Amino acid sequence: MLVTSSVAALALAACSSSGGKQDTGEAAAPASAAGTPTMTVAFITHAAPGDTFWDLVRKGAEAAAAKSNIDLQYQSDPDGANQSNLVQSAIDKKVDGIAVTLAKPDAMKANVEKAVQAGVPVVALNGGIDSWKSMGVLGYFGQDEKIAGEAAGARLKQDGAKKTLCVIQEQGHVGLEARCDGAKAGFPDTEKIYVTGTDMPSVQAAITSKLQQDSSIDRVLTLGAPYALTAIKSIKDANSSAKVVTFDTNSDLVTAIKDGQVEWAVDQQPFLQGYLAVDNLWLYKTNGNTIGGGQPTLTGPAFIDKTNVAAVEQFAANGTR
């Protein structure tokens, strides 16, 4: 939290657009506060177009890049094979470091290992907590999705939920599966539903249909803020009394918690994930430092609800929470 607060001002100057595979935009290179030579970092995620979660990750990465005179090259593709090809392109460009998500580790493994073998330092973030060490990656920044899921399940039990629908927006994503599996471990009466996260009208229709079919569902657990906001509409469409809970936030989601439309969110601090990943690469290149002592550096989970949403609201308004 201290890191997030100290760099929030820098993040405000950063570009916040989210990219698909066509997005090869580079962050501007403002005057460096670090005084070290310029280095180039490829920042490669599995972000789907329009997912505001990745705006927060990217802002954190850009804040760290601005601080340390880093030319940050952000690219994303939700397809594992395409994301892996972006890693190969970064190797070919002879970048100074790579930050990468490993949501689909089997697809990423060969080229991530190739980067490491070529002497390019690599750090992982957000996805792949069970896979990064075996690939030779320097460090990992994110939350343990199974632990986060179990915490959500325990919270559902504490809240007196009866039956939960866990909405997975991307098949094959190990982290999303771990969230739902963890939730089921903590709250056994949890059922999965798969939706196409890039088609929000179909997400809304699928949740609505499920709620109409099963009136015993009294909680809808989504795995991203945009899907929680869509679930609110689905509940209304289905004339259901179910409540929405979610993983992850954005400014609209924070407002929804404040207004009582969403009960709570599990926060993994995406801004911090992007910031620490880039900062780790800079520290490694300039001073030989690693972070985490061979263990993942956890940025979550924590709960945001009506009791503490006011403390988060100002940062959400800045686009950094």
Q: What is the pLDDT of residues 57-86, one digit of tens each?
A: 999 999 999 999 999 999 999 999 999 999
Q: What tens digit of pLDDT does each residue of 88-143 get?
A: 999 999 999 999 999 999 999 999 999 999 999 999 999 999 999 999 999 999 99
CB 262 within 8 A of CB 233: no
Q: Is pLDDT of 292 > 50?
A: yes
Q: What's the whole-number mean pLDDT along residues 264-292?
A: 97
Given a cut of 60, whether residue 14 has pLDDT beyond it is: no
Residue 170: which of 103, 241, 119, 96 has the closest Cα?
103
What confidence tens digit (pLDDT) does each residue in 224-235 have?
A: 999 999 999 999
Residue span(s) of the chain under CATH 3.40.50.2300 come to 2-143+269-299, 145-267
Q: Could you give the CA distance from residue 150 to residue 306 in angstroms, rounded to a whole number? A: 21
Q: How confident is the model at residue 319 (pLDDT cuts 50, 70, 90)?
A: confident
> Which positions ≥6 away from 171 have C-beta within 8 Å?
194
Residue 69 — left, alpha, or beta (φ > 0 → left; ψ -120 to 50 → alpha)?
left
Closest to 170 in 3D by CA, of 161, 160, 178: 178
Do residues 86 and 77 make contact, with C-beta atoms less than 8 angstroms apart?
Answer: yes
**CA–CA dist 31, 67 (Å, integer):** 8
Give yes or no for residue 33 having a pLDDT over 90. Answer: no
Fold of 2-143+269-299: Rossmann fold (3.40.50)
Taking 70 as the threshold, does the pLDDT of residue 306 lie above it? yes
pLDDT for 295 equals: 97
Decide if domain 145-267 falls under CATH 3.40.50.2300.
yes
pLDDT of residue 127: 95
Angle ∠(300,302,308) on CA atoms, nearest 5: 145
End-to-end alpha carbon distance in the chain: 10
What is the reported pTM? 0.85
The predicted structure's pLDDT at residue 102: 97
What confidence tens digit (pLDDT) does each residue in 194-229 have?
999 999 999 999 999 999 999 999 999 999 999 999
